[in-house]
Amino acid sequence: MSTDTNPGPGITGDAAATDAKQRNKRARQVLFGCAAFTVLTTLAIFFVLIDNAVSYFYGARATEMIFLGVEPQSAVGLIEFLNVRELLAGEARWAPEHATPSHNAWPIIFGTLAITVGAAFVSIPIGTATALYVSEYASPQVRSKLKPTLEVLAGIPTIVYGYFAIAFINPVVLGPIAGLFGINIGRYSMLSGMLVVGIMTIPMVSSISEDAMQAVPDDLRNGAYALGATKYDVSVSVVTPAAISGIFASYILAVSRAIGETMAVTLAAGFNANITANPFSEIMTMTAYMVSMARGTSAIGTIEYQSLFAVGLVLFCMTLVMNLLNDWFKRRFQEEYR
Amino acid sequence: MSDDSDRKRRPDGGTATERNRGEELFADIDLRREHLKNRAFLGLIFAASMFGVVALALLLLDVVTDFYVGITEFEISLIQFFTVDGSRRPENAGFFGAIIASVMLMALTAVLSFFVGVGAAIYLEEYAPNNRITRLIKANLSNLAGVPSIVYGLLVLAALVNGIGVGPILLAGSVALALLVMPIIIVSAQEAIRAVPDGVRNGSYATGATKWQTIRQVVLPSAMPGILTGTILALARAIGETAPLLMVGALFVNRTPFGPFDRFSGMPTQIYAWAAEPSQHFIHLAAVGIVVLLTILLSMNAVAVYLRNKYETAV
């Protein structure tokens, strides 16, 4: 054995050992490739969405313009796509597949935002209260039953929630209520979409908020009790503020999920793109528009097909902002108690 | 902060020997109101936490009722349901093709996502130096987990279905699902690898093993139950996903796929196609389909929980 050629630890110069080292190096490279693949996925999403969205606005894909020298021509203007003046005048119309097409995306952006805000009104208060109950009040027996139940709620596929909306919430729950106002509810309604997306995001808010509350050190609670605080005071004035960044992170995650939610809102809220304040009327979200395109037979290269990617890009950017915000909150929360 | 405001609101109570003086001090505090407030608050948050439970119960009740009504009133034959493909006519429609498609989708998704996902997890846990690239990969991972599922469908639609031109085939659907569950598999595999104690690794290094030998022969075997549990849960998520399959083009297909290059419609897309029909017969077919889907999901979860409980104490 020659120890002078390689001063490293272990048996050196041995053929088997160098072989093992080589294999170690190769394994490391392959595994790095696996990890880098996830970054490639994100880049591919960006590339595909932008490339195809460009063809919606300029008549040819970005790659076609660069590599094939196709001249850009104006198809749908960005100003037309996000025309605020039409929105304020109440004339915004989203109908790319219509005989007289109109490309103002505000109605479907409104649909997505309306569902998101409505769902947040359901999931945030109920989810936070559930988290407080499970974390601070529930006995171990209750907790051991409540938490798996919420996990089941989180594990149910979105299509089943959609079915629940179209077969139960809308006709059985909301139908009679709409009847009281003298409104004849259709198959779809905005309110049913809000409710069903709210219900499906409750477990997200509650489980992440509860984790944050559990991470609050008991010293803080005991300190408050020693001062004569009641359990209510401890829960509301000590635990909640101490866990606030984790709680906010859960809200953002729930909102992000609601923005991208597809099947439940499609089956609950419908396919009629309009801006309305009537909770019993049918609306269309961005995701529902994509589904309606998938249901139809829009050929490649048509403006309807291209609009899919423009809408997808808007959707992706909205959730991206939410995810980055969520990351930021989570990092703050981890720094505080570790 | 909040402690300060509490201190201001409540004067110092004093010790037990000063109880009388303490009571005088507390005379201005109405304890009954405090108790009432506490009880009302508990009632409120208890009711709120029951909301989710009630919603789940209603959902299951609704599905089971519709399932029952479908079988009794619409005379949906379960034998036909499990042996016949989909159809435009509700009385001839079955679920066979969709079940086969979903099973094939799941197998392909597992193959496509497992190795890359576990590989990425090993790299991040065992090899990755703490530098900018690693931080980028980690930040990107948490972002990928939040990308709406429909966007993965768009990616595959543009890149594979129309880009390369493979058409709406089963393989394209499983690529979309594999990309979708990849972050879930990576995160759960990371947790399983992290749970292997460092003493085990150091013991292996002490015998002169390289890092890769240690990982392959020591770390992975003891992390495998955890990794498999996470993978099964991720696949359970994949099998219920509808939106990516819809974007890939899995709709209105009523034939059983015979291989990864056939057109297909999985269980969730078939349920969607039925639920979106105005006819009540189709709605009840959807309910029967949902019962099948939920049963499969439930058994996958049961297997995952069984694996976890069996091996949790062993390590």
B155 at interface of A, judged by CB pairs closer than 8 A = yes
Closest CA to A22 of B204, A30, B207: A30
Residue B65 is encoded by which pair of tokens? Answer: 């009722």
Can you give the pLDDT at residue A1? 42
Lowest-confidence range among A1-15, A183-197, B210-224?
A1-15
pLDDT band at residue A298 under the 50/70/90 scheme: low
Residue A141 is encoded by which pair of tokens? Answer: 């027996």
Ramachandran category for residue B14: left, alpha or beta (phi over 0 → left; psi -120 to 50 → alpha):
left
Residue B180 CA to residue B150 CA, distance in Å, equals 9
Nearest-by-CA chain B residue for A33: B120
Averaged pLDDT in 10-residue chunks for chain B of 315 residues: 43 49 64 88 94 94 94 85 82 88 95 96 93 91 91 93 87 95 95 92 92 92 92 93 90 82 90 90 92 94 87 60
Residue A77 CA to residue A57 CA, distance in Å, equals 6
Residue B43 CA to residue B136 CA, distance in Å, equals 45
Per-window interface: B 16-75 vs A, CB < 8 A: 34-35, 37-38, 41-42, 44-46, 48-49, 51-53, 55-56, 58-59, 62-63, 66
Give the gap in angstroms from C-alpha B134 to the nearest C-alpha of chain A.
Answer: 9
B195 at interface of A, judged by CB pairs closer than 8 A = no
Q: Crossing angle for the helix pair B170-194 and B132-144, nearest 10 degrees?
A: 120
For chain B, give every domain's residue range. Answer: 2-72, 81-312
ipTM of the complex: 0.89
Residue A270 is encoded by which pair of tokens? Answer: 């419908």
Which of B34, B116, B182 is closest, CB to CB, to A230? B34
Average pLDDT score over residue span A88-116: 87
Is residue A334 scored above 90 in pLDDT? no
Q: What is the pLDDT of residues A305-332, one digit of tens each?
A: 888 999 999 999 999 999 888 888 877 7
Residue A259 with chain B: CB contacts under 8 Å? 148
Which of B34, B151, B293 is closest, CB to CB, to A312? B151
**Residues near B204 by beta carbon (within 8 Å), at least 6 away in sequence:** B213, B214, B217, B218
Instruction: State whether B208 and A229 contact (CB < 8 Å).
Output: no
Residue B210 is encoded by which pair of tokens? Answer: 């390289």
Give the DSSP letter of residue B307.
Answer: H
Instruction: State whether A263 and B63 contact (CB < 8 Å).
Output: no
Q: What is the CATH number of domain B81-312?
A: 1.10.3720.10
Is residue A165 scored above 70 in pLDDT? yes
pLDDT band at residue A2 under the 50/70/90 scheme: very low
Can you give the pLDDT at residue A124? 96
Q: Which of residues A15 and B122 earns the better pLDDT score?
A: B122
Q: Do A316 and B148 meet the contact criterion of CB atoms below 8 Å apart?
A: yes
Burial of A108 (0-12, 13-18, 19+ CB in 10 A): buried
Residue B148 with chain A: CB contacts under 8 Å? 259-262, 287, 315-316, 319
Question: Which CATH architecture does the domain made up of A105-336 adopt?
Answer: Orthogonal Bundle (1.10)
Q: What is the pLDDT of residues A224-258, one digit of tens each?
A: 999 989 999 999 999 999 999 889 999 999 999 99
Residue A263 with chain B: CB contacts under 8 Å? 242-243, 268, 272
- Runs of H (alpha helix) within chain B: 2-9, 19-26, 31-72, 78-83, 96-122, 132-144, 149-156, 170-194, 198-206, 211-214, 220-239, 243-248, 267-275, 280-312
Q: What is the pLDDT of residues A29-52, one digit of tens each?
A: 999 999 999 999 999 999 999 999
Can you give the pLDDT at residue B13? 44
Q: What is the pLDDT of residues A258-278, one digit of tens each?
A: 999 999 999 999 898 889 888
Can you give the pLDDT at residue B297? 93
Instruction: State whether B13 and A228 contact (CB < 8 Å).
Output: yes
Dihedral of CA atoms A102, A106, A107, A111 in degrees, nearest 10, equals 150
Is residue A10 scored above 80 in pLDDT? no
Residue B307 CA to residue B125 CA, distance in Å, equals 23
Instruction: Dump the DSSP string for B86-110.
Output: --SSGGG--SHHHHHHHHHHHHHHH
In three-state secondary structure terms, B139 is helix
The residue of A14, A26, A37, A38 whose CB has the most chain B CBs within 10 angstroms, and thus the best one to mutate to test that interface, is A38
Residue A117 CA to residue A277 CA, distance in Å, equals 13
Can you give the pLDDT at residue A141? 93
Per-window interface: A 139-158 vs B, CB < 8 A: 146, 149-150, 152-153, 155-158
